[in-house]
Amino acid sequence: MTEWAVVTGAAQGIGAVIAEFAVTAGYRVAAWDIDGPAVERTAAEIGDGCVASAVDVADEESVRAAAALLPEPPRLVVNNAGIVRFGPLLDLPLAEWESALRVNLTGTFIVGRTLAGPMGKAGGGAIVNLASVNGLAAAPHAGAYSASKAGIVRLTEHMAMEWAKLGIRVNCVAPGLIHAGMSDAIYADAEVRRVREGAVPLARLGSAEDIAAAVLFLGSEKAGYVTGQTLAVDGGLIKS
């Protein structure tokens, strides 16, 4: 029997590659994104095994409606949808702070708890949340984003403890400097890219494929005794 995976923020960037890897791993994938037309295009490109839904992860009704369309509870949920809101805390508009917290942290909470109950009743599974190295250490002007991602790290631990009895493992991937998605534009500048690569012990930027591989590992039975953990996929950046 084919198992379902839900991947949020799957229209582009890292989420689109996670969705593709999940289909390759044998899942049927529900690709959820707030950008309906874009996620439809991405699902069509991935092809058989991937279906798209327009979903706002920060809106509980929207998430419940999409969950109701799933023919059965998923075995894997990847909370990947996210937004960046940068700026010094003294000047950051409150709306920017609130949107970072709402999409990144509250969205992960809403999707996780909407699906955990049905997953538990169907025998359990795995949830993988996307944080960031910015959730592990402060970075200039990243206060709102960092706080939301640090919240995801701690929320992951609580989900793992509370939902272990449902047979659900919950882990977190913290990407480092990734040449994909929301960071693509930054690394279009060759000098910026050279400087950032120089900061990484493995001397290269990460790719969406690096992140997707870690997500699929944590979601698989190969990680069957791993829960409540955050795996930095960062070429050693956070330890340097």
Task: Return the residue of 53, 80, 114, 156 that touches ligand NAD, per CB under 6 A.
Answer: 80
CA–CA distances in Å: residue 7 to residues 107, 111, 142, 147: 13, 10, 25, 23
Cα within 13 Å of Cα(30), Cβ side:
27
Instruction: Name the residue nearer to ligand NAD (CB basis): 140 or 165.
Output: 140
- Alpha-carbon gap, residue 105 to 81, rounded angstroms: 10
Q: How many CB atoms lie within 10 A of CB 35?
A: 15
Among 43, 57, 168, 212, binds ligand NAD (CB under 6 A): 57
Are 178 and 187 spatial neighbours (Cβ–Cβ below 8 Å)? no
Number of residues binding to ligand NAD, judged by CB under 6 A: 28
Would residue 145 show up in a list of annotated catalytic residues for this protein? yes
Alpha-carbon gap, residue 128 to 73, rounded angstroms: 16
Q: In the complex with ligand NAD, which residue's Cβ is closer, 122 or 154? A: 154
Q: Number of helices (H) and strands (E), helices first, in the chain?
A: 8, 7
From candidates 3, 35, 40, 157, binder to ligand NAD by CB under 6 A: 35
Task: Establish how many alpha carbons lie within 13 A of residue 78's alpha carbon, considering only the half-sphere containing its beta carbon.
Answer: 35
Which helix or strand (DSSP H or E) is residue 156 part of? helix 143-163
Choice between 191 and 221, CB closer to ligand NAD: 191
Residues in contact with ligand NAD, shown as a per-residue x/- string from 93 to 122 under the rule CB under 6 A: ----------x---x---------------
- Is there binding between residue 8 and ligand NAD (CB under 6 A)? yes
In the list 101, 178, 216, 231, the residue contacting ligand NAD (rule: CB under 6 A) is 178
**Piece in contact with ligand NAD (CB under 6 A), picked from 56-64, 66-74, 153-161, 196-204:** 56-64
Amino acid, single-letter form, for residue 188: A
Which residues participate in catalysis according to the annotation? 145
Contacts to ligand NAD by CB under 6 A: 8-9, 11-15, 33-35, 55-58, 80-83, 103, 107, 130, 132, 175, 178, 180-183
